[in-house]
Structure 1
Amino acid sequence: MTRAVVFAYHNVGVRCLKVLLAQGIDVALVVTHEDNPNENIWFGSVRQVCEENGIPFITPSDPNTSEIETRIAALGADFLFSFYYRHMLKAPLLAAVSRGAYNMHGSLLPKYRGRVPINWAVIHGETETGATLHGMTEKPDNGAIVDQVAVPILPDDTAQEVFEKVTVAAELCLHRALPALIDGTALHRVQDLSQGAYFGGRKAEDGRIDWRQNARQIHNLVRAVTRPYPGAFSDLGAGRLVLWRTRVVADDCTGPLTGNIIHNNGRLEIHPHGGGTLQILDADFAGTSLPLGGDSDRRIALPSSDS
C-alpha cells in the first residue's frame, strides 16, 4: 500500500485529503494548523477530517524542526503532499519520503506563484485560473508540473466563488494524477518561470481603493477582497466607505461627473477619476449599510489619491 504524509489546511486541504483516502492511500500522518481566533474561519477543517477517519495529526507552529523531520522520516512514507499548508517546507522534510514531495497550488503555474494566487488573479482581471499539482523544491511553486485543471473566472465572480471552483479543480487534478504518480508513469514538465511571477500575501490595508484607477480596475479589487475578506474601502470626509459588490456600467466614459458618487435612476453610481462608471450594489458607509435608492442630486466627491 502506498503511504503518504500530508500537510494540509483549508478547503483544498480537506478535499485533496479525501481524494487520497478514496484512492486507498495510507495517510500515516497529517500536519495542519490550529485555527487563528482572529481570522474569519469560513472554510472546512482538515483536523475534523482526521478525527473522523482516525488519522494521526499534529499542529506545530513550525514544522521544520529536527523532531518532526525525524518523526516523518521514521514513517517510511512514499510521498509527501502539501495542500494549502501555509508554511514553507525545508529540504530535510522534502527528503524525508522516498518517492517525492508534491504541492497543489491554486493557479495555472507558472502564473501567480506565491501567496493568495486566486485573489491576485481576480485583481488583475484574469479570465481563467485553476489548480496545479507540481513537485516541491525549496523555492516555492517552481517545481515540475504533473497536472493542471483550468476553471473560468467570470467578470463578476468574487474571489470566494473562484476559490470554490479551484477547490473542485484541485480535487479533479489530484484524482486524475494520482494513479500515474503511484505507478511511476507520471510525466513531469519543467516550468518556464519567465511566463509568470511571484506575488506576496495581502493584508486588510491593501483593500484601500485608488480612485485614480478606472471602473473595471476598482470592480476587480472589490470582488477580490469582498466577503469573507475585509473589503475594498476608502476614507471619505463623513466616514469610511466599504464596497462589497459593484457592477461596471461603462468602462471608459468621462465627463463632468468624474470624481463623484451620485444618484442615477434610483441607483448609486461611482465615477472614478480613472474613468468609467460603477454601480454600487452592496456597501457600508460610516459603519452602517448604505441606502442604495433615492433620487437626490447630492454628490459625494472622491479623493484624488488613494490615501
Structure 2
Amino acid sequence: MPSAVVFAYHSVGVRSIKTLLARGIDIKLVISHEDSATETIWFESVAALCEERGIPRITPENPNTPDVIEQIAAIDPDFIFSFYYRNMLSNEVLALAKRGAYNLHGSLLPKYRGRVPVNWAVLHGEAETGATLHEMTVKPDAGAIIGQTAVPILPDDTAFEVFGKLTVAAEQTLWKVLPALIAGNAPHLPNDLSKGSYFGGRKPEDGRIDWSQSAQQVYNLHRAVAPPYPGAFTDIKGKRFVIEKARLINHSATKVPANLPQGLSVVDNVVFGVCGDGNAIEILALQHEGKTLDSAALSRLLT
C-alpha cells in the first residue's frame, strides 16, 4: 500500500483525503492549518476528518522547518499531496516524496496560477474553470499537469457556487488519475506558463465597487466576492453597504429610470446600482453593519 503525507485544508482537502483513502493510499500524516478566528468558516473540517479516521495531524505555522522536515523524512512517504494548503513548500520538503509531490489547483492550468483562482476567474467573466492535479515545484503551479477536469461558470454563478463545483471536480480528477499515479504510468503533460498568468491574493478592500465601470464588470465583482466572502461594497456618507444578492438587469424586463446618478438609488422600492456604461444591476439584498436592509431602510440611510 503506497504511503503519503498530505498537506490539506478546506473542503477540497476533506474530499481529497477521502478519495486517497478510497483508492488505497495509506496517509501517515496530515499537515494543516488552525482555523482563524477572523475568517468565516463555511467549509468542511480537515481536523474533524482526521480525528474521525485516526490520522495524525499537525498544524505548524511554517511547514519548511527542520522539525517538520525531520518528521516527514522519518515517514519516508511514497507521495506528498497538497490540497488547498496555503503555504509554499520548499524543495527540501518536496524531495522527501519518493514517487513525487502533487498539488490540486483550482483552475485549468496554466490559466490562473497563484492565489484564489476561483474568485479571479469569476471576476474576469470566464465561462469555465476547473481543477488540475500537477507536479509540485518551488515555483507555484508550474509543474507538469497530471490531470484536469473542467466545470462551467454560468452567467449568474457566484464564486461560492463555483467553488462547490470545483470541490467535486477536484475529487473526480484525483479519482481518475490515482490508479495510473500508483502504477507509475500517469501522464505528465506540459504546463506552458506563457499561456497563463499568475494572480496574487485578494483582500477585503479589493471588493470596493468602482461605479464608473460597466454593469457587467460590477456584477462580476459582486459574483466574485459575494458572501460568504467579504462582499462587494460601496461607502456613502460614511456608511458601508455590502451587496448580498444582485442580478444584472435585463432591460427588456426591467427599465432603469433615466438620469439616475452612478451608484445606489432607490426607485419605487427597487434598489439600483447604476454603472458607468449607463446600465445597472438590481440589488436584491444589501447589508449594512451585518444586517440585511429592505428598500425603505436603505432610503432612510441614503437621505
Q: Could you tell me the TM-score, scaled by structure 2's length?
A: 0.93
The aligned residue for residue 304 of structure 1 is none
Q: How does 1:80-159 map to 2 (within 5 A)?
A: 80-159=80-159
Count of aligned pairs between the two proteins = 298
Structure 1: tracts of 5 or more residues without a match? 302-307
The aligned residue for residue 293 of structure 2 is 290
Q: Distance in 1 between matches of 2:71 and 2:174?
A: 26
Q: Quickly say closer, same or farther: Cα 1:267–1:33, change in 2 above 3 A.
A: same
Residue 284 of structure 1 and its aligned partner are, at CA, apart by 1.9
8 Å CA contact 1:280–1:292 kept in 2: the answer is: no
8 Å CA contact 1:215–1:250 kept in 2: the answer is: no
Per-residue CA deviation, residues 104-124 of structure 1 (Å, 9 max, x unaligned), is 000110111000000111111
Q: Distance in 2 between matches of 1:293 and 1:23?
A: 56
Q: How does 1:3-18 map to 2 (within 5 A)?
A: 3-18=3-18
The aligned residue for residue 228 of structure 1 is 228
Q: Distance in 2 between matches of 1:284 and 1:243?
A: 6
Q: Distance in 1 between matches of 2:239 and 2:125?
A: 29
Q: Quickly say closer, same or farther: Cα 1:64–1:287, change in 2 above 3 A.
A: closer
The aligned residue for residue 169 of structure 2 is 169
The aligned residue for residue 206 of structure 2 is 206
State, as a whole percentage, how many aligned pairs show the same letter: 57
Q: Distance in 2 between matches of 1:88 and 1:68?
A: 14
Residue 56 of structure 1 and its aligned partner are, at CA, apart by 1.1
Per-residue CA deviation, residues 214-248 of structure 1 (Å, 9 max, x unaligned), is 11111111111111111111111262221111111
The aligned residue for residue 218 of structure 2 is 218
- SS for the counterpart of 1:49 is helix
- Which is worse superposed, 260-269 or 21-30? 260-269
Per-residue CA deviation, residues 74-133 of structure 1 (Å, 9 max, x unaligned), is 212111000000100000100001110000000110111000000111111111011000
- SS for the counterpart of 1:69 is helix
The aligned residue for residue 278 of structure 2 is 275
Return the letter of the residue paired with 1:171: E
Per-residue CA deviation, residues 116-169 of structure 1 (Å, 9 max, x unaligned), is 000111111111011000000000101000000010111111111110000000
Return the letter of the residue paired with 1:268: V
Residue 43 of structure 1 and its aligned partner are, at CA, apart by 0.8
Q: Distance in 1 between matches of 2:238 and 2:294?
A: 15
Q: Could you tell me the TM-score, scaled by structure 1's length?
A: 0.91
